[in-house]
Amino acid sequence: MREYLLYIKVSGGAAQAHITPCFQVDQAFWREREGAQLYVIGKSKSLALAFSLRGELNNALGDHAFTEKSVDSYRALASAHVREATVLYGKQAAGMTPIEKEWLSLESVGGSGEQADTLPLSPSSKDTLEDTDELKRESERLLAWMSGRALLWDEVGVLLNKKGWAPRSLEYCFQWMILSGKAERRPGIEWRIRRSWLRHRMLFTCARCGSEQTIVLTRCHSCRQGCAYCTECLDMGRSKCCTPYFCVPRQKASQAYEAVSPGKLCERTVNRGFTGERMAGTSYERRAALLDWQGTYSPMQKMAAEKARQFVASDRPGLGEFLLWAVCGAGKTELLFPSVAETLRAGGQVLIATPRKDVVLELAPRIAKVFPNARVIAVHGSSTEKWEDSDITIATTHQVMRFYHRFPLVVLDEVDAFPYHNNPVLYRVVSRAVQPGGKILYLSATPPRYLQKRLVPKRAQSHMHSRTHVLLPGRYHGSPLPVPLVCTVRGLHKHLSAGRSVQALLETLAASLDGGRQVFVFVPRVDQVPVVLGYLQRRLPGYSQAMAGVHAADPEREEKVRLFRAKQLLVMVTTTILERGVTIPRSDVIVVGTEAPVFDEASLVQIAGRVGRSSDAPSGTVLFIEEYRTSASRAAIRQINRMNQLAASLQQAGGQS
Amino acid sequence: MSGAACVSCGGIVSGRRREELVGRWSRALSRPATYPRIYRLVDSLPLCSSCLAEWQVIGTLICECCGRDMVNQVRNGEKMYQSPIGADFSQQERRVCKDCLAVQEKGNSLLRNRGLLPYDECGKAMLSRFKYRGDERMAAFFSALLAIEYYRSYHSAGFSCLSEVPLHESRLSDRGFNQMELVADGLSKRIGIPYIPLLKRSKQTAKLSQQRGKREREENMRGAFTCMYTGSQIGGIIRKQVREVLIVDDIYTTGSTLRACAAAIREALGHTCQVSALTCFR
């Protein structure tokens, strides 16, 4: 059981409160910087309590000058604060009984007002610390591993285990780092007291995921105090009031990044253009930034990639977010290469965060191939390279939680997809992984409304780009997006379950199949998969062997998708799980039941974007069958038409110039 | 429970189909007298309709000692044995499995055990989420499971108190909570039997997964628990009135833990006291 000692350090008229689990380290540290006097306030088993007291004391110390006599008044202040917190915690934890006498307690330590050298120490520290050189070396080493990460105590253990290194005392090393200002120790759950005229409350915040509504109070047997844990980020390990959470900003890279003047780099690379040439050779370019990509950009892609790169290279303050809005099948991954290379050249690391594990696994080898000299790692829940150091990190969203002020560039793929959309936690987590002054690049085909409002300026809506966004309305092969056809069938679902003919569906499906194309049939709910599948199999007996249905919880899901890719299956009845990421060259799409609320505008645009993605078959059929007219399908068609118009006008302009 | 997330698959708990299934399960699990209570308990389980439809519950053909589901064993031709209940209980005979018969011969301090669910992959996932991930909200789910099983099997027994299988102090401080304490507390509120922590773990044993073999476990567990009460009062109850005690645990694997607990309780409270066990998984 850890105990945290709270003390006030006074040196040269300035006083500050500190927390420590190992007082002898602090004593040794301040002894080196002679003249500091330490006054102990008390000790507590709850880190959250110590943390909130430290804040309270620092506030008080800021208001009044510190004198020797006022130590007692600060002790009184602290114990008053503890009393108030105890009462409030008891109210909020109604129905639970504390393990010890009180929910929260601050114990006093030995004598009062003595100086550091004669002070009786906390029980674990009988010996004073003599040899600080060893400790310094070890903490340097720990710093190297921890740099750019934010980890709970248990996760630190896992990390060091992985690295096969155990310092003599991890706690000492961390304390040394914290005192030198290179790291921060926080409680997993922080609390503060909000006072109002109606009632005072204790507000809990998870230091890791930042959520406030999902904190559950608990009797904790680890600290035996009033404690709380966060249920939002529970899958990543329990964040509690008494678990220390270490945030270590990245050290070296940030200095290196600033050392290279971005202005110069920017000029030079603009002149060279980005049509896939090799970018190595010059002496001060970093090796990792070598881009080995033989493809070419269309003029539109070139413009968008250049805009994104300029954003990454610019050192304008306050310009932190950029939206790369590219329609489905525009080749978004390729557009990233210049921006990534730019950051690598400046000595930074890049994070590419995507919502799903299969995308991570697909993306990692592609990126690794294009950047042959960069270390690329794929980070997801069951990844073995989770703790490696790398130039390019490709991670699922939840793993981003473990990074702290690490990356000068973070790319967020598919911001409108499931885990990000309307989830403030993941946005917070991503913005924390960025270095101060770093950049976030959002990638999306259908950016959510709030992102559009923030990053697409009103007056620039008719333009393709502004300082904060670039729009890429056409596909890489230049053909327009297939425009969906809408067909309203009254009593559609009754027809399907009764086996009566739905002409539009059957004719379109038969025409596609006879033309040798594969077909996605999207349905809104899992329980409709077997209904529609059975209906189609009965109606088109010739193809009944080549049809399958799939949904998220299907154990054979991966196998079926593989067969579909291999053209063993021709018709795939699916829920919205296949709306992203799956690319089948010659395919058509039919949506059955477009009126269901799961099919919103963004989802329908994504679904329509499955069709005609390859350059040898750039057209195809998209059919929306709905029971009654809906605004979502109209809006989706409007958006697709608008993109096509923009692309056409852009192409015309390109042809003229 | 409508609108919550299903603890087993993460789906949404609602729908008319679920109501039907809850009714069907409640009828299967209850007698007419206990139907309303069981219905409320089953309805309170955060399981969605598709998980409820696939729910596996241990049936009525069980070993009357350890509560093991004997349907498959009997189908495979395994015999069930007649055995006197305990050395010092009534001479009524009951049908037990082979393992229990062997244990009976050596002397068994645990009267009987009952479990509601078989320990399958899904149960494993839920239990590890509760125990190792530390999702304390799952305690309500597990205590509801135990309450259902209590009303099904132990409704006529007169327990004076219930107790949990304790954790060793060092494990407790690592984990931060005792999962069975939370469950036992919830169960006692549901069924109205006072929860009194009777036991203390005096010996630290290796983790379940690191132990090999039944005999080694039995050996390890011997004397691992001690009873905390030696006076004449047990948490407000007069000691002599304690005739039957219920201990709850998450899972019965070989039964050595529960037998060691029962032995410790009978050591302290006298051998007239009968100890039964209730587990979520068997």
pLDDT single digits (tens) B42-74: 888 888 888 888 888 888 788 888 888 888 878
Q: What is the pLDDT of residue B3?
A: 61
Mutation for testing the A interface, residue in B50, B54, B130, B136 having most A CBs under 10 Å:
B136
CB atoms within 10 A of CB A167: 17
* Inside any domain, residue B76: no
pLDDT tens digits, residue range A158-206? 888 888 887 778 888 888 888 888 888 999 999 989 999 998 999 999 9
Residues of chain A contacting B171 with CB distance shorter than 8 Å: none
Chain B: closest CA distance from residue A575 (Å): 15
Question: Which amino acid is located at B262 in the chain?
Answer: A
Instruction: Judge: B178–A240 Cβ closer than 8 Å, yes or no.
Output: no
Distance of alpha carbon A584 from the chain centroid: 29
Out of A87-96, A121-130, B26-35, least confident range: A121-130
Q: What is the pLDDT of residue A114?
A: 45
Count CA atoms closer than 13 A to A483's CA, side-chain side: 12
Q: Tell me which residue of B236, B134, B147 sits closest to B179, measured CA to CA.
A: B134
Instruction: Judge: A240–B176 Cβ closer than 8 Å, yes or no.
Output: yes
Distances (CA, A) of A243 to A56, A69, A72, B36, B132: 21, 34, 29, 44, 16
Residues of chain A contacting B133 with CB distance shorter than 8 Å: 234-235, 238
Instruction: Judge: B136–A553 Cβ closer than 8 Å, yes or no.
Output: no
* H or E element at residue B189: helix B179-191
Chain A: closest CA distance from residue B9 (Å): 9
Residues of chain B contacting A227 with CB distance shorter than 8 Å: 176
Minimum-distance CB partner of B134 among A219, A234, A553 = A234
Pairing of strands B233-234, B237-238: antiparallel
What is the residue range of B152's domain?
109-281
Distance of alpha carbon B24 from the chain centroid: 23
Q: Tell me which residue of A127, A130, A106 sits closest to A4, measured CA to CA.
A: A106
Out of A373-377, A534-538, A607-611, B220-224, least confident range: B220-224
Helix, strand, coil fractions of chain B, as percent rounded to 5: 45, 20, 40
pLDDT of B82 strictly over 80:
no
DSSP-assigned states of every residue in B257-278: HHHHHHHHHHHHH-TT-EEEEE
Distances (CA, A) of A316 to A260, A262, A656: 15, 10, 34
CB-count exposure of residue A428 (10 Å: 0-12, 13-18, 19+): middle
Chain B: closest CA distance from residue A140 (Å): 28
Q: Is A7 strand, coil or helix?
A: strand
Q: What is the pLDDT of residue A535?
A: 92
CB of B1 within 8 Å of a chain A CB? The answer is no
Average pLDDT over residues A250-275: 43
What is the percent of chain A with per-residue pLDDT over 70, rounded to a whole number?
Answer: 89
* Residues A306, B251: Cα–Cα separation, whole Å: 61
Instruction: Judge: B133–A227 Cβ closer than 8 Å, yes or no.
Output: no
pLDDT tens digits, residue range A613-649? 888 888 889 999 999 988 999 999 999 998 898 888 8
Residues of chain B contacting A235 with CB distance shorter than 8 Å: 133
Minimum-distance CB partner of A1 among B135, B137, B173 = B173
> Which residues fall within 8 angstroms of residue B112, CB to CB, at 6 or more apart?
B64, B65, B66, B67, B276, B277
Instruction: Judge: A218–B133 Cβ closer than 8 Å, yes or no.
Output: no
Looking at the structure, do residues B50 and B140 belong to the same domain, yes or no?
A: no
* Residues A49, A242: Cα–Cα separation, whole Å: 9
Residue with the two structure tokens 């989802």: A603
Residue with the two structure tokens 């550091």: A116
Q: What is the pLDDT of residue A258?
A: 37
With bands split at pLDDT 50, 70 and 90, how would you rate the model's confidence at A80? very high
Pairing of strands A37-44, A4-11: antiparallel
Looking at the structure, do residues B128 and B249 belong to the same domain, yes or no?
A: yes
CA angle B65/B69/B73 to nearest 5° reads 105
Q: For chain A, which residues lie within 8 Å of any Cβ of chain B, measuring from their own Cβ? A: 1, 216, 218-222, 227, 229, 231, 234-235, 238, 240, 242, 553
* Inside any domain, residue B101: no
Instruction: Judge: A231–B135 Cβ closer than 8 Å, yes or no.
Output: yes
Q: Is A40 strand, coil or helix?
A: strand
pLDDT of A590 strictly over 90:
yes
pLDDT of A259 strictly over 50:
no
Q: What is the pLDDT of residue A624?
A: 93
Give me A368's structure tokens: 């690794």
Residues of chain A contacting B175 with CB distance shorter than 8 Å: 221-222
Out of A315-324, A485-494, B142-151, B231-240, least confident range: B231-240
pLDDT tens digits, residue range B200-256? 888 777 766 666 677 777 777 777 888 877 766 776 777 777 788 899 998 888 888
pLDDT tens digits, residue range A536-573? 999 888 888 889 988 877 888 888 888 888 888 899 99
With bands split at pLDDT 50, 70 and 90, how would you rate the model's confidence at A129? low
Residues 171-200 of B with CB under 8 A from A: 172-178
Q: Indicate the Cα dihedral angle B131, B134, B140, B141, nearest 10°.
A: -60
pLDDT of A270 strictly over 50:
no
Domain A485-652 has CATH 3.40.50.300: yes
DSSP-assigned states of every residue in A320-384: -EEEEEE-TTS-HHHHHHHHHHHHHHTT--EEEEES-HHHHHHHHHHHHHHSTTS-EEEE-TT-S
Minimum-distance CB partner of B9 among A221, A242, A553 = A553
Q: What is the pLDDT of residue A122?
A: 41
Instruction: Judge: A238–B176 Cβ closer than 8 Å, yes or no.
Output: yes
> Which residues fall within 8 angstroms of residue A446, CB to CB, at 6 or more apart?
A416, A601, A602, A605, A606, A639
What is the percent of chain A with per-residue pLDDT over 90, rounded to a whole number?
Answer: 14
Scanning every residue of chain B, which has its alpha carbon at the shortest distance from the alpha carbon of A214?
B137
Chain A: closest CA distance from residue B32 (Å): 33
> Is A396 within 8 Å of A357 (Cβ atoms)?
yes
Q: What is the pLDDT of residue B256?
A: 84
Domain A255-472 has CATH 3.40.50.300: yes
Same CATH topology for A255-472 and A485-652? Answer: yes
Looking at the structure, do residues B26 and B119 belong to the same domain, yes or no?
A: no
CB of B105 within 8 Å of a chain A CB? The answer is no
Minimum-distance CB partner of B172 among A218, A221, A234 = A221
Residues of chain B contacting A220 with CB distance shorter than 8 Å: 176-177
Phi, psi of B256 (to 5 degrees): -65, -35
Residues of chain B contacting A529 with CB distance shorter than 8 Å: none
pLDDT of A117 strictly over 80:
no
pLDDT tens digits, residue range A191-202? 989 999 998 999
Chain B: closest CA distance from residue A119 (Å): 29
Residues of chain A contacting B4 with CB distance shorter than 8 Å: none
Backbone torsion region of residue A462, taken as left when φ is above 0, otherwise alpha when ψ lies between -120 and 50, otherwise beta: alpha
pLDDT of A115 strictly over 50:
no
Q: How many residues in chain B?
A: 282
Minimum-distance CB partner of B176 among A216, A220, A234 = A220
Give me A492's structure tokens: 């559609």
Mutation for testing the A interface, residue in B18, B54, B173 having most A CBs under 10 Å:
B173
Average pLDDT over residues A588-612: 89
Scanning every residue of chain A, which has its alpha carbon at the shortest distance from the alpha carbon of B173?
A222
Scanning every residue of chain B, which has its alpha carbon at the shortest distance from the alpha carbon of A226?
B176
DSSP-assigned states of every residue in A500-545: ---HHHHHHHHHHHHTT-EEEEE-SSTTHHHHHHHHHHHH-GGGGG
* Inside any domain, residue B122: yes
* Residues B86, B93: Cα–Cα separation, whole Å: 10
Supply the CATH number for residue B138's domain: 3.40.50
Checking B129-132 for CB contacts under 8 A at 24+ apart, the result is B129/B7, B130/B179, B130/B250, B131/B175, B131/B179, B131/B250
Beta-bridge partner residues of A215: A230
CB-count exposure of residue A251 (10 Å: 0-12, 13-18, 19+): middle
Q: What is the pLDDT of residue A656?
A: 61
CB atoms within 10 A of CB A601: 18
CB-count exposure of residue B267 (10 Å: 0-12, 13-18, 19+): middle
Distances (CA, A) of B175 to B133, B169, B171: 9, 10, 6
Phi, psi of A372 (to 5 degrees): -65, -25
Give me A8's structure tokens: 């006030």
* Inside any domain, residue B78: no
pLDDT tens digits, residue range A276-286? 333 433 434 45
Give me B63's structure tokens: 């070993």
Q: What is the pLDDT of residue A410?
A: 92
Instruction: Judge: B134–A238 Cβ closer than 8 Å, yes or no.
Output: yes
Residues of chain B contacting A231 with CB distance shorter than 8 Å: 135, 137
Phi, psi of A471 (to 5 degrees): -110, 130
pLDDT of B80 strictly over 90:
no
* Inside any domain, residue B68: no
Distance of alpha carbon A618 from the chain centroid: 34
CB-count exposure of residue A266 (10 Å: 0-12, 13-18, 19+): middle
Q: What is the pLDDT of residue B211?
A: 65
Residues of chain A contacting B135 with CB distance shorter than 8 Å: 231, 234
Instruction: Judge: B135–A234 Cβ closer than 8 Å, yes or no.
Output: yes
N-term to C-term CA, chain A: 73
Chain A: closest CA distance from residue B129 (Å): 9
Q: What is the pLDDT of residue A527?
A: 84
Chain A: closest CA distance from residue B22 (Å): 20
ipTM comes to 0.84
Minimum-distance CB partner of A218 among B9, B133, B136 = B136
With bands split at pLDDT 50, 70 and 90, how would you rate the model's confidence at A484? very high
pLDDT tens digits, residue range B144-200? 999 999 988 888 888 888 888 888 888 888 888 888 888 999 999 998 888 888 888
Count of structural domains within chain B:
2
Q: Tell me which residue of A521, A519, A523, A522 sits closest to A587, measured CA to CA.
A: A519
Minimum-distance CB partner of A216 among B136, B172, B174 = B136
Q: Between A and B, how many residue pairs show a Cβ–Cβ distance under 8 A?
A: 34
> Is B229 within 8 Å of B215 (Cβ atoms)?
no
Give me A198's structure tokens: 């109606």
Chain A: closest CA distance from residue B84 (Å): 42
Residues of chain B contacting A219 with CB distance shorter than 8 Å: 177
Pairing of strands A226-230, A321-326: unpaired
Instruction: Judge: A234–B172 Cβ closer than 8 Å, yes or no.
Output: no
CB of B75 within 8 Å of a chain A CB? The answer is no
* Residues B150, B195: Cα–Cα separation, whole Å: 14
* Inside any domain, residue B82: no
Looking at the structure, do residues B238 and B159 belong to the same domain, yes or no?
A: yes
Minimum-distance CB partner of B176 among A216, A221, A553 = A221
Residues of chain B contacting A221 with CB distance shorter than 8 Å: 172-173, 175-178
Q: Give the residue extent of every domain in chain A.
A: 4-248, 255-472, 485-652
Question: Max Cα separation, chain B?
Answer: 54
Q: What is the pLDDT of residue A1?
A: 67
Q: What is the pLDDT of residue B2?
A: 54
Chain B: closest CA distance from residue A238 (Å): 7
DSSP-assigned states of every residue in A405-441: S-EEEEEE--TTSTTTTT-HHHHHHHHHHEEEEEEEE
Provide Rg for chain B, Cα atoms. Answer: 19
